[in-house]
Structure 1
Amino acid sequence: MNRGKRPKIKLTITDRIGKMGCHRGHKVGDSFDYDTERGQICPMAMHCAFPYIDILRYGGKLPGQPEGVAEFCCSDADVVLVFKAEIVEE
């Protein structure tokens, strides 16, 4: 990883576990560039995403997950969207 530049991160919604649809209108298959489109992502999901993005950007790895990938859920118990954050190689 290039230490002078932070890697790009893509967030993709991969599943929905909760019973309700997303209050922001997000759906499975939606994808966002973290640096340029994060303002479009629900603030509850972003609150959950930030620690995982930090781990990926600074060279960390999550147990049981592939290198450069972090899966997590939003915190809305009615919706529970599953997100995949992944490093995008340039």
Structure 2
Amino acid sequence: MSRPQIKITLIDRKGPHGCHRGHKIGDSYDFDTERGQLCPMAMHVAFPYVDILRYGGTIPGNEPGTAMFCCPDVDTINVFRIEVVQPEQDKN
């Protein structure tokens, strides 16, 4: 069994300043191939959620296969959504 794909998307910003790393609402990252593009502070917070979702766990208060988290920068407070990407079903 292979590990599912994980997508991390910036969905909102609550802080008074823009992201110091330049992330904007709507930016998405594939955890396995693009995680180096994500702010290290946000990645530090995201990793435990990714690990839980990737191996079949759920986050209380979130839909199955998803997690929401904020970056720890109080000036920015970017809100991210992590989701397990379901593989496309073979249509043959």
TM-score by length of 2: 0.92
% of aligned pairs identical? 63
Q: How does 1:1-90 map to 2 (within 5 A)?
A: 4-90=1-87
Partner of 2:90: none
Structure 1 residue 48: Cα displacement: 0.4
**How many Å apart are 1:74 and its aligned residue?**
0.5
Quote the offset at 1:83 in angstroms. Answer: 0.3
Q: Which runs of 5+ in 2 are unaligned?
A: 88-92
Post-superposition offset of 1:64: 1.2
Q: How many residues align?
A: 87
Name segments (4+ residues, structure 1) moved above 4 Å.
none
Q: Is the radius of gyration larger for structure 1 or structure 2?
A: 2
Q: Distance in 1 between matches of 2:15 and 2:3?
A: 33
Deviations 1:10-58 (A, max 9, x none): 0000000000100010011101111000000000000000000001011
Distance 1:62 1:42 in 2: 22
Alpha-carbon distance in 2 for matches of 1:35, 1:79: 25
Q: Supply the AA of the counterpart residue of 1:27.
A: K
CA RMSD of aligned residues (A): 0.5
- Listed as ranges, the gaps of 5+ residues in structure 1 are none
Q: Could you tell me which amino acid in structure 2 is paired with residue 35 of structure 1?
A: D
| Rounded Cα–Cα distance in structure 1 between residues aligned with 2:31 and 2:58 | 18
